[in-house]
Amino acid sequence: MATLSHPAALRLNRREFLAAASAAVVPWAAATPPPKGKAEQCIFIWLGGGMAHMDTFDPKRLGDPAKKLPGSYYPSIETAVLGVRVCEHLKRLAPLMDRMTAIRTLHHDVIDEHAAAVNRMHTGRPVSGTVVYPSIGSVIAHERGPAADGAPAYVLIGYPNVTRGPGFLGARAGYLYLTDTTQGPAGLSRPEGINAERQARREKLLGLLREQARGNSHDDPRLRDYDAALQQSLRLSGPEFMSAFNLAEENAERRRTYGGEFGQRCLLARRLIERGVRFVEVSHNLNFINGTGWDVHNAGILKQHELIQELDHAVAALITDLEARKRLDHTLIVMATEFGRPPEFDSGGGRGHHCQAFTCVLAGGGLRHRGAYGETDELGRKIVRDPVSVPDFFATIHAALGIDPGKNLYDGDRPVPITDQGTPIRALFG
C-alpha cells in the first residue's frame, strides 16, 4: 500500500500538486473532450457602449418611445435562415446569416458599470483584486502564437488599456496597437531622415545596451519579456510586415465596398490576417458616426440607425471578401459588446443598460452556423431557452480556434483555467 513517504509522492512540486488539486474538483462531465474547430485566426470586432439587441440581431415587436411602449425601435426583415429575422438596417448581413450565428442569450451580472462590463467581456471574469487576468486576445496569442513568421500574434486597432492586455501572461502575450489606418503602429515606422545605415548603427548600439542589461538582470523574467518584445518590434519594423498597413495597395472599388473609417479598419484586419496575425481586435468606438456610439441613452438613439448601417456595411464586406479569398472557414469573426439594452425607453426616448440577456455574434470560422442560437422572451428582457454565460461564449471561441477551454494557464505556480468553467456551444460544431 502506497504511503505519503513513498519517494514518488515526494517528487510532486507545488505546481503539480496545485494542478492535481484543481483537476480533482472539476465535475466528471468536464472529462468529455471539448469540440475542436478548424479556425486558425480571429477578428474580434468590439462594439463599445452596449449594442441594443432588440434593435439589431434579436428584433421584437415595434415599440414607441413617445407612448412609452416597450419594443424594437425599427421594423425587422427576413434573412437567409428561415425564421431568423434582423433589424431592417442590417440589409447586407441578412442574406449572409447562414454564415453567422447571433448568440441571443448571453448574460452576466454587471449592470450599470461600463468599465467592469468591458473587462468581463474581454477577460471572461469579474475584476479581481489579486489577479490581473489576460484578455481573450492575449490568451489566444499565448496559446497559438503568430500564424506566420515575421508577424505579431495580436494586433489591436483601437486605444490600449489593461482590459485588452496580457495580465499575468506577461508582455510576450501583449498586443501591437494603432489608432490610425493611414499609417502603421507608432514606433515601428522609421522616421524621415533615418536611412538603412543609420538604422543599423542604432540597432548595434541598442544590442550592446541590451546585452549589458541582460548581464545585470539576474534572470529577471520581466526584463526577459521586455527584451523579447523589443526584438519582435525590430523584426516587425521591416518593410514586409509594415506593408500590411498600406491600404492604398487595395483597389478603389474594394475600399469603397468596405465603407468609411470603420470599414477601413475591417479591411486592415483582413490584411493583417493574411500577413499571419493570429488575433485582431477592431474597435468600433474610435470616432462614432452617430456621435454617441452604442451607448444610446436619451437622444443618442436618434442616429443609432447610422451606426447599425455602418456595422452592416463593413462586416458584410469583410465576410464576403474573406469568403472570396477562401479564408472565411479559417477566420472566426466575433462581434462582441459589454451588455445589451432594455426594451423600455428612458425619459429621453433612449435606452438604459441590460445584462440579463444580450446578443453577440459569431461568423465564419468553420462553425455550423444557424442564424441564431438561444431565445429570449417577447421583448428581449429574459432568456427563455439555451442561456449562454460569458465563460461559455469564451469557451466556444477557444474551441473554434482549437484551444482546449479547460486547460490551465499559470500565474506563477497558481493554475488558472483558461475559462471560468465555460462549456462550448456544441450545437455550433459539426
CA 244, chain centre distance (Å): 20
Q: 73 phi and psi, to 5 degrees?
A: -85, -25
Nearest to 341 by CA among 386, 308, 311, 385: 308
The torsion of the CA quartet 360, 344, 289, 308, rounded to 10 degrees, works out to 50
Q: Would you state the cell numbers that stand for residue 179, as one nine-digit string? A: 489608432
pLDDT band at 5; cut points 50, 70, 90: very low
**Do 72 and 55 contact (CB within 8 A), yes or no?**
yes
Beta strands in 141-220 (DSSP E): 154-157, 176-178
| Sign of the C-alpha dihedral computed for residues 90, 95, 97 and 99 taken in this order | negative
Computed over every residue of the chain, the mean pLDDT equals 87
Degrees, nearest 5: CA angle 286-259-182:
55
Degrees, nearest 5: CA angle 241-246-247:
130
**Do 44 and 136 contact (CB within 8 A), yes or no?**
yes
The answer, yes or no, to whether residue 50 has pLDDT greater than 90, is yes
pLDDT in tens, 250-272: 999 999 999 999 999 999 999 99
The pLDDT score that the predictor gives to residue 190 is: 57
pLDDT in tens, 373-402: 999 999 999 999 999 999 999 999 999 999
- On the CB side of 25, CA atoms within 13 Å amount to 8
Q: 416 phi and psi, to 5 degrees?
A: -130, 115
Query: Would strands 85-87 and 76-78 be described as parallel, antiparallel, or unpaired?
Result: antiparallel
pLDDT in tens, 108-162: 998 778 999 999 999 999 988 899 999 999 999 999 999 999 899 999 999 999 9
Q: Would you state the cell numbers that stand for residue 203, as one nine-digit string? A: 540597432
Q: 318 phi and psi, to 5 degrees?
A: -65, -45
Residue 330 vs residue 207, higher pLDDT: 330
Q: Would you state the cell numbers that stand for residue 199, as one nine-digit string? A: 538604422
CA 142, chain centre distance (Å): 14
List, in order of start, the domains of the chain with CATH numbers: 27-189+243-428 (3.40.720.10), 191-236 (no CATH)
Residue in this structure with the C-alpha cell 449572409, named with its chain if needed = 96
pLDDT in tens, 184-231: 786 566 555 656 566 566 556 666 665 776 666 666 666 666 666 656
CB atoms within 10 A of CB 421: 14
The answer, yes or no, to whether residue 23 has pLDDT greater than 50, is no
**Do 276 and 150 contact (CB within 8 A), yes or no?**
yes
The pLDDT score that the predictor gives to residue 200 is: 61
The answer, yes or no, to whether residue 75 has pLDDT greater than 60, is yes
The pLDDT score that the predictor gives to residue 390 is: 98
What's the pTM value of the predicted model, to 2 decimals?
A: 0.85
* DSSP letter (8 states) at residue 190: P
The pLDDT score that the predictor gives to residue 206 is: 61
Nearest to 241 by CA among 232, 228, 250: 232
The answer, yes or no, to whether residue 170 has pLDDT greater than 90, is yes
